[in-house]
């Protein structure tokens, strides 16, 4: 990065700010999903059990999952909003989304599945761009521990041709082409 610009011409500070705002918005979304359901978990469980009655999923699994969804949403939402244990919180969100996506596709609720795909894309952006998580509790704690604990974050780089050449499938074809086979 020269002159504070990334390889795509964006200013590094702008990327950090955009990442931070996106992270906070996603965190608030998850937090409020959990917060609005946390005091009515029995009602949420009952509603989920009724929705899944015509499926092969045992009622006990629906009950367990429905009981866990609001507290998980609440906790990961708070962590993502603050940028605290951000990587773990984002991975937990992906795990939650695996369960939710399985459920809505089993129910064939394709409109909800579509919106969940958008959630997953945003989670992907946040996890893949974790190097831009500069305005966060995670970063503050690393700075507080001292410079030896502070990992300098760099702009993520795209894999080079050489790295692709090492992949078993792509690599053999590329090497064969280079050798003239």
Task: Tokens for 158, please give them.
Answer: 């795209």
End-to-end alpha carbon distance in the chain: 39
Q: What are the pLDDT digits (tens) for 45-67? A: 999 999 999 999 999 999 999 99
The answer, yes or no, to whether residue 155 has pLDDT greater than 80, is no
Residue 142 sits at the vertex; the CA angle it makes with 139 and 14, to the nearest 5 degrees, is 25
Task: Tokens for 115, please give them.
Answer: 């919106």
Mean pLDDT of the chain: 87
- The more confident residue out of 86 and 168 is 86
Cα 134 to Cα 83: distance, rounded to the nearest angstrom = 9
Q: What are the pLDDT digits (tens) for 117-126? A: 999 999 999 9
For the full predicted model, state whether its pTM sits above 0.85.
Answer: no
Residue 102 sits at the vertex; the CA angle it makes with 76 and 82, to the nearest 5 degrees, is 10
Backbone angles phi, psi at 11, to 5 degrees: -75, 135
Q: How many residues are there in the chain?
A: 181
Closest by CA position to 136, among listed 29, 14, 23, 11: 23
Cα 75 to Cα 89: distance, rounded to the nearest angstrom = 8
């Amino acid at each position: 990065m020269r002159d504070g610009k990334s390889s795509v011409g964006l200013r590094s500070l702008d990327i950090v700010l955009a990442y931070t705002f996106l992270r906070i918005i996603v965190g608030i979304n998850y937090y409020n999903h959990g917060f609005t359901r946390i005091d009515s978990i029995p009602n949420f469980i009952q509603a989920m059990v009724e929705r899944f009655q015509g499926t092969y999923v045992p009622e006990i699994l629906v009950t367990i999952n429905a009981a866990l969804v609001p507290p998980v949403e609440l906790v990961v939402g708070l962590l993502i909003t603050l940028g605290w244990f951000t990587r773990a919180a984002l991975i937990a969100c992906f795990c939650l989304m695996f369960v939710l996506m399985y459920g809505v596709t089993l129910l064939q609720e394709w409109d909800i599945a579509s919106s969940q795909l958008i959630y997953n894309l945003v989670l992907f952006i946040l996890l893949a761009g974790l190097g831009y998580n500069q305005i966060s509790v995670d970063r503050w704690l690393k700075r507080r521990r001292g410079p030896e604990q502070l990992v300098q974050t760099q702009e993520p780089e795209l894999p080079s041709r050489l790295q692709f050449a090492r992949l078993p499938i792509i690599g053999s074809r590329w090497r064969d082409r280079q050798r003239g086979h």
